[in-house]
Amino acid sequence: MLCWIEVDLDAIANNVRALQAAAEPRQGVTAVVKAQAYGMGAAAVANAAVQAGARGAAVARVSEARRLRQAGFSEPLLLLGGLDPEDHADAVALKLTATVSDWQTAEGLARAAHAAGEVANVQVKVDTGMTRYGAPPDEAIAIVRGLQRLPSLHLEGFYTHFAAADDPDPFFAHQQLARYRAICQQLEADGIELGLKHAANSAGSLRIPGAGLDTIRTGIALAGGYATGWVPRVGSLRGAVALKSRVIRFHTPAVGSSIGYGRTYKVFRPMRVALIACGYADGLPRACSNRGRVLIRGERAPLVGTVSMDMAMADVSHLPDVEIGDEVVVLGPQGADEISLDEFAESAGIIPHELLVRLGSRAPRLYVRNGQPVSQANLACDDLTEYACASST
């Protein structure tokens, strides 16, 4: 392979256990695997998380849930996003727990569940300050009470979402948690069983004491990443993703010449440049041009010239032993050094979440356990090849 993404399933499992130890959710972690588990591959990550103790998974759209079910994932699956009316029947058939934030959705799901002879699980989301998908408190309270009149729906949970748990000052997140708790107490005082109560994303679970509640919804932390530098570092979280490529040729450009599109790098000294089979279509952002670093033979090499769609170039003048075919690490460890997710995101000028979901679908995902490959997935066409010789434990 010339360019590939390695996902360490042992690290995923380790991170699930670390988050559960840090936040102490009463019923375990909910693994957020929307957008192909932030580029890692939803099916493999969801299964690894559940095997490590997660209670289930969450996605944003019905299409994502369908792919997971088709891949054999049978655990609880929370649908975080909105529903088109034409998706109500599919949500019921796929045994999803849909999020309800308006009465029309509740009625539509109730009709679909009744027609299928099912009782469908739903969760109600209350907006305590995010001002996004979620019902204002008064509406959320009315929806919860109204669900008592819809026998084809079962209220599985009641939740909210932090808007600024990763900010320098977490005061607003504390306010949101207090508002949420007050609403829960008001409903429970009426004898309503709310089921799963949850509020925390990855940042909230590590930043806001007492936010673990029944479950935490964690996405970026599964990959061993943090939303911002303000989120406390849990020493036991491990990076789970590596973007790797290979050297495919060398250049010795003349002094005064230029490198790459737009001639953004002018050659001012004799140098040796390695051409790398990885570009922005694979997840190396163009914004890393002339500022990012890669690892080759355990040493750092600066990117020179503009990163193109399929290739990038690195100055290896200080690494005379580098050869064609050598492994190049764009993200992840090599030898005693590492290009961390935080560093990679900073060089690209984006947050770690966006960086991961930009990982290109054409680069195959190689899943490893105990340092050995156990499976490979091509997210572009959903094929999966099992490595018969590899251990699955």
Nearest Cα to Cα of residue 113 among 136, 132, 96: 96
The stretch 8-13 carries a mean pLDDT of: 98
How many CB atoms are closer than 10 A to CB 176? 26
Mean pLDDT value of segment 59-75: 97
Domains of the chain by start residue, with CATH:
9-223 (3.20.20.10), 241-360 (2.40.37.10)
Mean pLDDT (whole number) for 298-327: 98
- pLDDT at position 391: 45
pLDDT at 220 over 90: yes
CA distance 164 to 144: 26
At residue 379, the pLDDT reads 86
Predicted confidence (pLDDT) at residue 392 exceeds the cutoff of 80: no
Q: Average pLDDT for residues 65-74, to the nearest whole number?
A: 97
What confidence score (pLDDT) does residue 1 get?
A: 93
Provide the percentage of residues in the chain whose pLDDT is more than 90: 94
> Mean pLDDT over residues 158-183, rounded?
97
Q: Has residue 151 got a pLDDT over 70?
A: yes
Distance CA 254, CA 275 (A): 16
Tens digits of per-residue pLDDT, 152-166?
999 999 999 999 999
* Residue reference for tokens 């900073």: 346
Residue 357: how many CA atoms within 13 Å on its side-chain side?
A: 13
pLDDT of residue 381: 60
pLDDT digits 0-9 by tens, 18-50: 999 999 999 999 999 999 999 999 999 999 999
pLDDT band at residue 349 using 50, 70 and 90 as cut-offs: very high
Q: How many residues make up the chain in this entry?
A: 393
What letter would DSSP give residue 135?
B
Which residues lie across from 32 on neighbouring strands?
A: 58
**Section 255-260 average pLDDT:** 97
Secondary structure, 3-state, 214-270: CCEEECHHHHCCCCCCCCCCCCCCCCCEEEEEEEEEEECCCCCCEECHHHCEECCCC
Average pLDDT, whole number, for the chain?
A: 95
Q: Is pLDDT at 178 greater than 60 in this prediction?
A: yes
Q: How far apart are the C-alpha atoms of 180 and 1, rounded to whole Å?
A: 49
| Cα angle 301-38-15, degrees, rounded to a multiple of 5 | 85
Structure confidence by residue, pLDDT tens digits, 329-339:
999 999 999 99
Q: E strands of 28-178, at which residues? A: 29-32, 56-59, 77-79, 97-100, 120-125, 153-159
What pLDDT does 301 receive? 98
- Which has the minimum average pLDDT: 98-112, 137-151, 304-318, 369-383? 369-383
The reported pLDDT for the residue numbered 393 is: 43
Check residue 96 and give its pLDDT.
98
Residues assigned a catalytic role: 34, 261
Assessment of whether the complete model's pTM goes beyond 0.85: yes
pLDDT of residue 234: 79
Q: Cα-flanking dihedrals φ and ψ of residue 76, to 5°?
A: -55, 135
